[in-house]
Each structure stands twice: as structure tokens, then as C-alpha cells.
Amino acid sequence: MGTRAMPLSTSIMLWACVLAAATAQAGTYNPDRSIGDVVEPWKDLPGTDDRPHSWADVADRDAVVVVFTCSSCPYAVDYEERINALAERHAGADSRVAVLAINSNRIPEDALPAMKARAEAKQFRFPYLFDESQAVARAFGAVRTPEFFVLDRDRRIVYMGAMDDSTTATAVKRRYVDDAVAAVLAGRAVEVAETAPVGCQIRFERRRAR
């Protein structure tokens, strides 16, 4: 029995669906974002310094590093010194790079008072912000702590994933975030644009069905 030809209108519809799926595909490891996506601005996130922080605070920076972290995840805690060192390397009023940390967990161990205590004890050199609504983490497609994003001058994502290639500081051979920042400042493409983040899952609250 012969195979019937598919109607032209059906073929066009199926091809359009395939094309739409391909163009809407997210990153390899990020469920919602792709390299080149522009990040939505935020405003009035409370920080451990008792000040509200907005995207406008870093509007003059050529590169922005955003790390989603917390105090309850051992992986995130292990990276605190490395994040501090990153912030110190880009400190100064004339710096072209901003380093920001955001906590989106809504549990007592990660509430703002606990964040303040942690920031003071570890002498964080970077703004540590509380994303209580979890909207910022969702906008980035962040799912782990720690999870890093590097943004260029136009606030496009140029890198997302792990900070480096080993959770053991002494074993690190490739510093993905540092490399991405250097590429942005030099005006060249990022060689490794995405890696798999390693850490605890962000504790998202389940959204109620309407």
C-alpha cells in the first residue's frame, strides 16, 4: 500500500513548529536562558548593608558578574572566599566590573538576618542581595547555588554556569568567570560560554495553579 503525501499546509505547519522550537531553545544547562539573552532589570532588592539595590547601581559598568548563592548550601559556602577574591580583584571606584551576589532561598537559614550575619562574619566585599520574591532567580533561569552569570555592557548573558572547573580551590585549572570577564573587557568573544553549574538546588516555592 502506497504512502499518502502530506498536505502542503500540514507540512508548512509542522516545519513552523520545528523552527519555533529551535529558536526558542534555552541553553544547554539553563532551562530558560540562552547565551545572548538580555537580562531583565531589577530594583529595590534589599541588601545586607540595609540599602535597596537596583540595576541602575551598576549602569556604568562594562561587565557585571551575578552569582546566585546562599548560606545553607555547603557548595555555596565553599565558594565564598573565591567570590570575595573576585570582588577584590575588581574593587575600586574606577572599576569597569561589578560583582553582585543574590540569595533567592526563603528558609530561616537564608533569611535576611542570617545573610547579614554571614556577610559580616566573612567580610564580604560584594553586595549581597535578598531576592525574596524569587523573581530575579526565575528571570535568570538560575537553579543552583552557586551559579554564575557574566553580562556585557548591553546586559546580555555572555557566560553562565560554574565559576571554575573544580569545587576544590587548589585543583582549579580553568577560571571560567575570570576568562569571560577578561573577554568582555577586551571586546572579544567568550571562549567557553556555558558550563554546568554545580551546587545545591535553589529552593523555589511552588506556584499555585490559578
pLDDT for the residue numbered 25 = 45
pLDDT in tens, 65-123: 999 999 999 999 999 999 999 999 999 888 999 999 999 999 999 999 999 999 999 99
The cell for 155 is 546586559
Look at the chain and report how many structural domains it folds into.
Answer: 1
Between 26 and 204, residue with greater pLDDT: 204
pLDDT in tens, 124-154: 999 999 999 999 999 999 999 999 999 999 9
Where in the sequence is the domain holding 132, given as residue range(s)?
Answer: 34-201
Closest among 68, 84, 71, 74 to 118, alpha carbons compared: 71
Spell 38-56 as b/e; 16+ CB within 10 A means b.
Answer: ebeebeebbbbeeeebebe
What's the Cα-to-Cα distance from 111 to each of 43, 72, 205, 208, rounded to whole Å? 19, 10, 14, 22
CB 65 within 8 A of CB 99: yes
| Half-sphere exposure of residue 210: CA atoms within 13 angstroms, side-chain side | 0
The DSSP output letter for 113 is: H
Q: What is the CATH number of the domain that holds 103?
A: 3.40.30.10
Inside any domain, residue 3: no
Evaluate if residue 2 carries a pLDDT over 90. Answer: no
pTM, 2 dp: 0.86
Inside any domain, residue 178: yes
Inside any domain, residue 13: no
pLDDT for the residue numbered 16 = 34
What's the Cα-to-Cα distance from 33 to each of 1, 67, 156, 192, rounded to whole Å? 47, 15, 11, 16
Inside any domain, residue 114: yes
pLDDT for the residue numbered 206 = 76
Section 57-67 average pLDDT: 96
